[in-house]
Copies of this chain bind each other. A is one copy, B any other.
């Protein structure tokens, strides 16, 4: 560690000062041009830009960070092991949205995994050093200490989803309640009589809301909710299999299943197949996320689409606003800083 790499100041990189000399102006003026300040005359701006081009000047990020006390970087923190990250299409969609929106700016995106204690330790250190201007927090569980750490360090942050109905951080969520409601309404509309649900992890607020939506839709249709038809999965394929097995035991006559994620639906499908139940003839199946899995399943899976990419974009917008604002977070309301985007049912052959 700390093997001081030999210096590398090889006569090369021009500095602000050199650009200023070349353009025949002062340091301050060059800085203003570089940073797009409007308080520069057109002629001066042109001269500076020419000098920048001639010298191939590129600002020194470290110097800027030191002087301005900002890093021009934000972190996307994934509190999951890397395997989850690659397995869940959710993350790649999110990353695409975030990346696209950030491409408009000079900001750099860092991807940080915090899946185990060691990584979390490192992350805490990293945040304490204020190496990023803001943080995007995806896939947070109710009891995660990370959000509070961020508030305490006064680091601007935006969370995907919410930890509870009274989320204190700026957030971007999708309307899980309405999405689940629509899915179950759809199943009812197709004349399904016994509708079960495979829930996600209930320490994830969104998963809870999907169960709430499921219940509300049944009640609105005058059906009684049978709690034995609500079985938790854990968002994995294996969890979906287990839950489906359990459901078939509890209620062999069920004719529809609403799964809290496509991956769990895929697990459920396997079990249904093994037991000789046809989809959708015997049992209708609906998933959540509208991921690639849903489109490629046999039969193609009806699913609720979350606008994940759009959520990513929205998170960036919110975060950049947070960073620009920078008043003590406590002194502000959450008005307009908590978004809920609509979900949409995508009907396919499985229901």
Q: Which residues of A contact B (CB under 8 A)?
A: 1-10, 13, 35-37, 56, 58-63, 65-66, 68-71, 82-83, 86, 92, 95-96, 99, 103, 105-106, 108, 110-111, 113, 118-119, 122, 125-126, 128-131, 133, 154, 323-327
Q: Which residue of B lies closest to A62 (CB)?
A: B65
Q: Are A66 and B58 interface neighbours, CB within 8 A? A: no
Q: Which residue of B lies closest to A35 (CB)?
A: B2
The 3 closest A-B pairs by CB, nearest first: A62-B65, A62-B66, A2-B35
| Chain B residues with CB under 8 A of A324 | 3, 5
Report the bound CA distance from A110 to B323 in whole Å.
Answer: 21
Q: Are B70 and A105 interface neighbours, CB within 8 A? A: no
Contact of A1 among B9, B63, B105 (CB under 8 A): B105
Contact of A9 among B13, B62, B69 (CB under 8 A): B69
The dominant DSSP class at the A interface is loop
Q: Are A7 and B106 interface neighbours, CB within 8 A? A: no
Q: Are A154 and B323 interface neighbours, CB within 8 A? A: no
Q: Which residue of B lies closest to A119 (CB)?
A: B103
Centre residue among A86, A92, A95 by max chain B CB count within 10 A = A86
Q: Are B131 and A61 interface neighbours, CB within 8 A? A: yes
Report the bound CA distance from A130 to B103 in whole Å.
Answer: 19
Q: Are A61 and B7 interface neighbours, CB within 8 A? A: no
Contact of A60 among B6, B66, B113 (CB under 8 A): B66
Q: Are B129 and A36 interface neighbours, CB within 8 A? A: no
Q: Are B62 and A71 interface neighbours, CB within 8 A? A: yes
Q: Are A82 and B92 interface neighbours, CB within 8 A? A: yes
Contact of A133 among B5, B13, B37, B108 (CB under 8 A): B5
A238 to chain B, nearest CB (A): 14
Q: Are B62 and A6 interface neighbours, CB within 8 A? A: no
Report the bound CA distance from A326 to B6 in whole Å.
Answer: 6
